[in-house]
Amino acid sequence: MLMPKRTKFRKSHKGVARFKRVATRGIYVSFGSYGLLSQENAWITSRQIEAARRAMSRTVQRGGKIWIRVFPDRSVTKKGSEIPMGKGKGPVDHYVAEAKPGMMLFEIDGVTEQQAREAMRLAAHKLPVKTKFVSKDLV
């Protein structure tokens, strides 16, 4: 699964949920012919990204190329169950990528539009955000 090799700080802050913010970078189909566009704010875990990638790869079967446009670089910590309050933040549990509305999550090329649409549909079921299928000529 995806995770950074090293980070400047081991634990990150949660930050403030800014639901009105839309993505300004990573919003176009840059590498492939078709893409999967996020329509909501959410944290996407590295496990969800990997599950979506596997679903897409299984569909295209060596027929096309897939680009993952998000990377889980934010650490999420978790304390064990039944641990009393206090005593610090807890160890890093997993990594997440922040998805904003309008952000391109995946791209695909080398397949027909019907195959790409099916692959993206299966990938979208693995993600916690509403998504939209786009093609290079539409964006």
What CATH number is attached to the domain comprising 101? 3.90.1170.10
Longest Cα–Cα distance of the chain, Å, equals 55
Contact of 34 with 64, CB cutoff 8 Å: no
User: Which distant-in-sequence residues (6+ apart) come within 8 Å of 137 by Cβ?
Assistant: none
Domain that includes residue 59, residue range: 46-77+92-135
User: What mean pLDDT is predicted for residues 61-67?
Assistant: 90
Tell me the percentage of the chain whose pLDDT exceeds 70: 96
Contact of 69 with 27, CB cutoff 8 Å: no
User: Quick check: is 22 in a domain?
Assistant: no
Q: What is the pLDDT of residues 19-46, one digit of tens each?
A: 668 888 888 999 999 999 999 999 999 9
User: Quick check: is 99 in a domain?
Assistant: yes
Q: How many domains, in total, are found in the chain?
A: 1
User: Quick check: is 20 in a domain?
Assistant: no
pLDDT of residue 72: 95
User: Quick check: is 30 in a domain?
Assistant: no
Instruction: Sort strands 104-109 and 34-38 into parallel, antiparallel or unpaired.
Output: antiparallel
User: Quick check: is 82 in a domain?
Assistant: no
User: Quick check: is 67 in a domain?
Assistant: yes
Q: Count other Cβ atoms within 10 Å, centred on residue 4.
A: 12
Worst-scoring range by mean pLDDT, 15-19, 65-69, 89-93, 113-117?
15-19
pLDDT of residue 18: 66
User: What mean pLDDT is predicted for residues 77-86?
Assistant: 91
Strands, E, within 13-91: which ranges?
Answer: 34-38, 42-45, 65-68, 74-77
> Mean pLDDT, the chain, as a whole number?
91
Could you give the residue ranges of the DSSP H alpha helices within the chain? 46-60, 113-125
User: Quick check: is 15 in a domain?
Assistant: no
| Cα–Cα distances in angstroms (integers) from residue 115 to residues 57, 111, 131, in the given order | 11, 6, 17
Confidence of residue 139 (pLDDT cuts 50, 70, 90): low
User: Quick check: is 61 in a domain?
Assistant: yes
